[in-house]
Structure 1
Amino acid sequence: MISIAVCEDSIPMQGQIETLIFEFMPECTVDVFSRGEELLNELSKDTSRYSIYMMDISLPGISGIETAASIRKRDPYALLIYITDYREYVYQVFETLPFRFITKPIDPFLFEKALADALAHLQNRQKLFHFHIERKQYQIPLQEIVYFESRLRQVTLYTPGDSYEFYGRLSDVLSALDKLLFVRVHASYIINMDYIHTLTDTSILLHTGQQIPVSKRYRKELRAKHLTYLKWRADQ
């Protein structure tokens, strides 16, 4: 069952958001918070409690952006949807990797589309990458893979909190991945474009903090695929 956290200090707006959610997803669970501190306190008990967060930006106490930044540190896979009438904050929220941005007054059609896209995104997480380590089979959701690094015939798969080493070739790894998400940027590296923070001609800074080199050989392909990726994400 999908669990959704709503963080909004306006009582009438809380009611409208809840109504719209249950009209589209009657079987989900919804918890409503009026302050960011209340939501973060709940998350301190169970970090993975919610799959989707619907956040107002202007809240009493810590702001919605600060709350979202805290959520992102605890859960790199959380889907953050901002619902606000403060359009001037659009660029500030990008650091928290928002999934969608809905302006007030709420358009029910756009609200429903954001939820539908969020559900599709959650379903896509079920796509897995399979590999073996000493005859033991592993499978990692593609969404959780940050990048691959190859040294000779040894490939290391990195997630935000772990790493796995197995024998293989990057060319074989790439053929098993979603081409809209993953791109080869160097003879030794494949990255998940969901984790790109800053992109230059010579390197990529990932949201997890790693700096990945970009070789001249793959530079043009990276730019083209990243543009395709951005258009794909914008259409979701």
Structure 2
Amino acid sequence: MRILICDDDSLISKQLCEYIQDYFKHTNANCPEIFCFTNGESLLADQGEKDILFLDVEMPGLNGIYTGSELKKRNNNIIIFIVTSYLKYLDDAMRIQVFRYLFKPLDKKRFENNMKDALNLYNTSMIKLPIETKQGVHTILTSDIIFVEAQGRRVIIHTEKNDYESIHNMKYWLDSLPRNNFFQTHRSFIINMEHVSNFDHSLIHLAENQYDAYLTRRKYKSFKDAYLLYLESMR
């Protein structure tokens, strides 16, 4: 894992480094590598993995919103904290799907609570599962699965890049996928709540409305409750 800090204020970068190191020390875990940048250009030029990022908004050159948007295009799984003194950037930050919005001066207790949530999300998104097809085995991140669909006797795994026809049935996938992220909305659909755009009493729209999945009416309330709980865990 690599944790990155991008802020032109050296005091904030130093404080974040100390908070991160203290968090891992108190949880008896090895602290990952921490890298600091002072502007968006140098961060975008970095060739290393970017797992968790603490990102300022107002910086010389590229601002944090643009920088974060570019990084999300490259890796949708990056976990971005916006760190700023200004509430006015909140809407822009939400549009690029940042994980949390932290205000300066930083509150250490709030930082620790959010860091715990970020690591839980990271560990969940890094789960890999094999998809066995008639042609071979493909290993993918569970976070890349948009939904699983039964089409007659065929079971299709729809991912961000490809669709795969699994040799396993729906029960296998229901048992294999992490329950805190996936929900069976209909006998023919298991959806990843990470990719939900919106829903009503009969349909769930996924991946910015690219796909639709059926929602059984009797499951509407339980799905709504599970989805709201999922969103709450992401705050």
TM over 0.5: yes
Q: 1:41 aligns with which of 36, 42, 45?
A: 45
1:33 aligned partner, one-letter code? F
1:17 matched to 2:21:
no
Is the 1:160–1:208 contact (alpha carbons within 8 Å) kept by the matching residues of 2?
Answer: no
How far did 1:130 drift? 4.2
How far apart in 2 are the matches of 1:132 and 1:147? 16
Aligned to 1:123: 123
Aligned to 1:89: 89
Q: Which residue of 1 aligns with 2:27?
A: none
Question: What do residues 79-115 of structure 1 show as CA deviations (whole Å, max 9, x unaligned)?
Answer: 1111111123223311222222211101122223322
Identity of aligned residues (%): 25
CA shift for structure 1 position 55: 0.7
Partner of 1:4: 3
TM-score (norm 2): 0.83
Unaligned runs of 5+ in 2: 25-29
**Structure 1 residues 190 and 4: CA distance shift in structure 2, 3 A:** same
What's the counterpart of residue 70 of structure 1? 70
Q: Deviations over 1:156-190 (max 9, x none)?
A: 21222233211343344223322221123344332
Match of 1:226 in 2: 227
User: Residues 86, 193 of structure 1: CA spacing in aligned structure 2 closer, same or farther, 3 A cutoff?
Assistant: same
User: TM-score scaled to structure 1, two decimals?
Assistant: 0.83
Deviation at 1:135, TM superposition (A): 7.9
Moved over 4 A (4+): 135-139
RMSD: 2.5
Within a 5 Å distance, the mapping from 1:1-236 to structure 2 comes to 2-25=1-24, 27-42=31-46, 45-46=47-48, 49-134=49-134, 136-207=136-207, 210-217=210-217, 218-234=219-235
| Corresponding pairs, count | 229
Worse overlay, 225-234 or 151-160: 225-234
